[in-house]
Structure 1
Amino acid sequence: MTRPSLARSADIDGFVIGECVHHGGMATLWSVTHPGITAPLLMKVPLVAEGEDPAAIVSFEMEQMILPRLSGPHVPTCFGTGDFERQAYVVIERIPGKTLYSRLGELPLAYEEARVVAGKIASALADLHRQNVIHHDIKPSSIMFRESGEAVLIDFGLSHHNQLPDLLQEEFRLPYGTAPYMAPERLLGVRDDPRSDLFSLGVLLYFFTTGARPFGETETLRGMRRRLWRDPHPPRKLRGDYPPWLQEIVLRCLEIEPAWRYPTASQLAFDLGHPDQVKLTARSERMRRDPLSTVWRRRFDRGLTEPKPKVDLAAQLASCPIVAVALDIGEGSETLNEALRVTAQRILATLPSARLACLNVLKLGRVTIDRTLDEQGHNKHIDRLVALQHWASALQLDQSRLTVHVLEAIDPAAAILEFAAVNHVDHIIIGARQNSLVRSLLGSVSAKVAAEAVCSVTVVRPPRTAALREPGDKDGKVEEAVKVQAARP
């Protein structure tokens, strides 16, 4: 079959070729148009000439398989693919602007700006991982931003899809990726662990806040293998004003063993979104690398240097959800809050890596001027934070798994829904009071949350009194009814 020409004005399956906008090491990018598509488009074409790296062809096959399956604001929309028999290509939307690589001349960035940038990337990774894909090439040149602010991940040639054949794993033995950003387990052939992307993001955040790469610029395989046992210099050694909460996040991402990192991108994004609630450990205070005795112990620890068992991506994400419990701490709420505690305890008992966010909404008036102090002169916001911490103390959770939040809003349900969406909450637990005339006319907060949330919702009612209990009821210390909404797709 005759191959179509990659020349200006040529037609390939209805796509009209424009100018070549980029010539990379594994593919070229062309601007294209299509009479039925108004969005600006790019056509990516692999390099297949004599002497080209065969990995370029295999990685392009991976991109052809993966891109059409992805959706959402954090990936470019795919409009078409072509096979190798005639002309291999992928047509995607053209994201306006430049990649994050264009900002390298500005490093180091201000800590707050770097936090916001990294938070957006972590949110994009959380969305990608929920679609069964691990990127495996997170670096500045693989990240763009939409005009609306969302991070967009590009270049999926090295990616792993949990439900598709991994051609790179099957056909090559050497790890492919960008050396300074590659996770240690990748050197052992592990490609199915989503925490590898979190390591790469940790490298990027370290680089963007210190101006130095944590493992240098080396690209030799021997040099890269040192990261299996050698930790980087703590950022605070490079910059004396480095925030402890930020070092805690960065060094946790850069842990050698994946199990020591954040379990999910959602939990990493949560900490980046709430730096004041990051639980500080010894990581945050470190000024030196690990002593040589620790390094040598790692060097000969076969558990760290041998390949790891296969990771089930879906199971990994499901075992580490973010759970939010919405509490009313006003008078008369004690019974309902005890039922909420029992429900939360049951859920968290089966999910030892779950995070719990305790919420309360300080309702604001629509037309009145709200006072920050109550009649006794106490700060309302602080009192509610203390009440939430007191409620959660009975759960006896490790402090790294718990945060408390007082939201100030006119519409409590809308505030809870917004918190859940912004913070990638997987499950909301909320109480429902007994019926009243006001709730009948205006609708309840719990009903609105259950109807509109994009995650699972458990609605808990207070227990019945002894007189109203039916045969088979227990002692009334648990919820009367539970309603579960479909989980996030």
Structure 2
Amino acid sequence: MAKPSIVSGAQLDGFTIGECVHRGGMATLWTVTHPGITVPLLMKVPRVSEGEDPAAIVSFEMEQMILPRLAGPHVPGCFGTGDFARQAYVVIERIAGQTLYSRINELPIPYEEARGIAGKIATALADLHRQNVIHHDIKPSSIMFRPSGECVLIDFGLSHHNLLPDLLQEEFRLPYGTAPYMAPERLLGVRDDPRSDLFSLGVLLYFFTTGVRPFGESETLHGMRRRLWRDPYPPRQLRPDYPPWLQEIVLRCLEIEPVWRHPTASQLAFDLAYPDQVKLTARSERLKRDPIGTVWRRRFNGGMTQPKPKSDVAVQLASGPIVAVALDTEDGSGPLNECLRMTAAHLLATLPSARLACLNVLKLGRITIDKTLDEQGNNKHIDRLVALRHWASPLGLDESRLTVHVLEATDPAAAILEFTGINQVDHIVIGARRNSMLRTLLGSVSAKVAAEAACTVTVVRPPRLAAAQETANG
């Protein structure tokens, strides 16, 4: 069968070829239309002529395998593929606008703007990782944003799918990727650790807030291997006004050992969403790189320079979930809150990398004007934050694993659902009070949360004796 020509006006499997909008080193991009598809489309066609890089063909095969298996707002929709026997191509949704690379000439950008951008990228990565995919080429030109604000990740030719053959790993010894953004473990052949994407995001966040890439522009393998033992200059050395919480996040992302980074992209997104609750360590105050003695020990004592055993993306994500506990701080809630603490303790005992978010809803009146102070003149919001920390204290959690949040809302269930949805909470633990006619008619907060939450929900009831006493007092 003759190979179809890719020119404007040609037909291929029902797609009409439009104009060529990009000619890259590995592929060309064409606008296409299809009578049954209303969204704007792009056809990506690999360069397969003699003398082309074989890795370009393999990476295109990876993209063909991975893209049709992805879904959601953080990836472009896939509408068709063609094999190499006739004409290789992949047709994807055309995202309006430009990539993040268009902002390069504006660097450094304001810290708060960079926090928002990085938070959206981390959220997109969390969604991608839940679909068993590690991107492995996070950089400004691989990131776009929908008009509605969601981050869209593009270019999956270097990606790893936990449930599919990794052709790049099987066929090539050298790591492929964009050198300034490549995680240290990638240089050792590790392609199955989702925290590699967090390192790349840390590079991007460092670059966008300082205007300097943390590891320079070196493209040589020798230059890249230095990041196996050499840390970057702390951002505060470059910009004295650099916020401590932001340096804490950036340097944690850039840790040489993956285990010292955030456990998951969801937890990184959580830190970016609540900078005032980021646990500050010695990282946040650093003005100099590690001393040369530390660097030499790191270089010659093995450790990171040794290949790691194969990991499992799903297992790793499951070990570091975000758990939210919804608490009532009103009088009489003691027995139920004790049960909630016991349930949380059991969960956290088996999840050493989990993060705990303690929630309380300060209910507002629908018509009345709400007062910020109670009858004793105390700030109700602050009092509840203190109460949440007091409740969590017996759990003995490191501060980096604990946050407290008071939500102000007229509808407590809706507030809890909104918070847990935005922050990608994996498990909600919520208490249920005694039954009453009013609750039967109107529905309880716990019932609504359990019915509508997009994650696992554990509903906890007080002990029978306490419930009986509550009924008698009611």
TM interval, shorter chain, is: over 0.9
- The aligned residue for residue 194 of structure 1 is 194
Please give the secondary structure, in 2, of the residue aligned with 1:357: strand
Cα distance per residue 1:403-433 (max 9 Å; x no partner): 0000000100000001001111000000000
SS of 2:395 mapped into structure 1: coil
Matches of 2:263 and 2:346 in 1, distance apart? 21
- Structure 2 residue 461 is the aligned partner of structure 1 residue 461: yes
SS at the partner of 2:31? strand
Alpha carbons 2:340, 2:431 under 8 Å: kept: yes
Q: Which residue of 2 aligns with 1:473?
A: none
> What is the match of residue 472 of structure 2?
none
Question: In 2, distance between residues paired with 1:336 and 1:266?
Answer: 29
1:90-125: CA deviation from partner (whole Å, max 9, x where unpaired): 000000000000000110010000000000000000
Kindly provide the CA deviation profile for residues 217-269 of structure 1, in whole angstroms up to 9, marking residues without a partner as x.
00000000000000000000000100000000000000000001001000000
Q: Could you give the per-residue CA deviations for residues 176-200 of structure 1, whole angstroms, max 9, x where no partner exists? A: 0000000000000000000000000
Superposition TM-score, scaled by structure 1 size: 0.95
Q: Which residue of 2 aligns with 1:259?
A: 259
Partner of 2:100: 100
Identity over aligned residues, as a percent? 82
What SS does the aligned partner of 2:435 have?
coil
SS of equivalent residue, structure 2 residue 81: strand
How far the C-alpha of 1:467 sits from its partner, in A, is 11
Equivalent-residue separation in structure 2 for 1:144 and 1:5 (angstroms): 30
- The 3 A distance-change label for structure 1 pair 66 and 383 is same
Question: Which residue number corresponds to residue 372 of structure 1?
Answer: 372
The answer on 1:307 being equivalent to 2:310 is: no
Q: Does 1:46 align with 2:46?
A: yes
What is the match of residue 333 of structure 1? Answer: 333
The corresponding residue for 1:124 is 124
- CA distance in structure 2 between the aligned counterparts of 1:117 and 1:96, rounded to whole angstroms: 17
| Cα distance in 1, alignment partners of residues 391 and 195 from structure 2 | 32
Q: What is the distance in 1 between the residues matched to 2:304 and 2:330?
A: 51
How many angstroms does 1:468 deviate by?
7.2
- Equivalent position amino acid for 2:211 in 1: G
Contact 2:357 2:402 in 1 (8 A): yes
Q: Please list the CA deviations of residues 22-44 of structure 1 after superposition, one character each: whole Å capped at 9, or x if unmatched.
A: 00110000000001101100000
Number of paired residues? 469
* Shift in Å, 1:291: 0.2
Runs of 4 or more consecutive aligned structure 1 residues displaced over 4 Å after TM superposition: 466-469
Instruction: Name 2:230's counterpart in structure 1.
Output: 230
Q: For residues 465 and 149 of structure 1, what CA distance do their matches in structure 2 show? A: 50
CA contact (8 A) 2:407 2:415 kept: yes
**2:169 is the counterpart of 1:166:** no
Looking at structure 2, the residues matched to 331 and 404 of structure 1 have their Cα atoms a distance apart, in angstroms, of 19
Q: Does the CA contact (< 8 Å) of 2:44 and 2:90 recur in 1?
A: yes
Show structure 1 runs of 5+ residues with no match: 470-489
In structure 2, how many angstroms separate the alpha carbons of the residues matched to 1:365 and 1:237? 49
- Cα distance in 1 between the residues matched to 2:396 and 2:467: 33
1:251 and 1:11 map into 2 onto residues whose CA distance is: 51
* Equivalent position SS for 1:368: coil
SS, match of residue 177 in structure 2: coil
Is the Cα–Cα contact under 8 Å of residues 46 and 88 in structure 2 kept in the other structure? yes
Query: Match for 1:139: what amino acid?
Result: K
Cα distance between partner residues in 1 of 2:467 and 2:259: 50
Structure 2 SS opposite 1:169:
helix
1:20 aligns with 2:20: yes
What's the RMSD between the two structures over aligned residues?
1.0
The answer for the alignment partner of 1:446 in structure 2 is 446
Q: Which residue of 1 aligns with 2:77?
A: 77
Alpha-carbon distance in 1 for matches of 2:73, 2:95: 11
Distance in 1 separating the partners of 2:53 and 2:353: 42
Question: 1:162-221 deviations in whole A, cap 9, x for unaligned?
Answer: 000000000000000000000000000000000000000000000000000000000000
Q: CA deviation at 1:466?
A: 8.3
Could you tell me which residue of structure 2 aligns to residue 33 of structure 1? 33
Question: Could you tell me how far 1:5 is from its partner in structure 2?
Answer: 1.0
Closer/same/farther in 2, CA of residues 459 and 222 from structure 1, 3 Å limit: same
Q: Superposed, which structure 2 residues align to 1:83-482 within 5 Å? A: 83-465=83-465
Unaligned runs of 5+ in 2: 470-474
| Range 199-208 or range 2-11, more displaced | 2-11
Q: C-alpha separation between the residues in 2 aligned to 1:441 and 1:105?
A: 59
CA distance in 2, matches of 1:303, 1:257: 9
Deviations 1:369-390, CA, capped at 9 Å, x for gaps = 1100001000000000000000
In the alignment, the residues of structure 2 paired with residue 468 and residue 385 of structure 1 have an alpha-carbon distance, to the nearest angstrom, of 29
Q: Distance in 1 between matches of 2:164 and 2:453?
A: 30
Q: CA deviation at 1:301?
A: 2.0
The residue type equivalent to 2:281 in the other structure is T
Distance 1:238 1:83, change over 3 A: same
The 1-side partners of 2:332 and 2:468 are apart by 19
**Helix, strand or coil: the match of 2:214?**
coil
CA distance in structure 2 between the partners assigned to 1:431 and 1:385 by the alignment: 18
**Does the aligned pair in 1 maintain the 2:434–2:467 contact within 8 Å?**
no
Secondary structure at the residue paired with 1:465?
Answer: helix
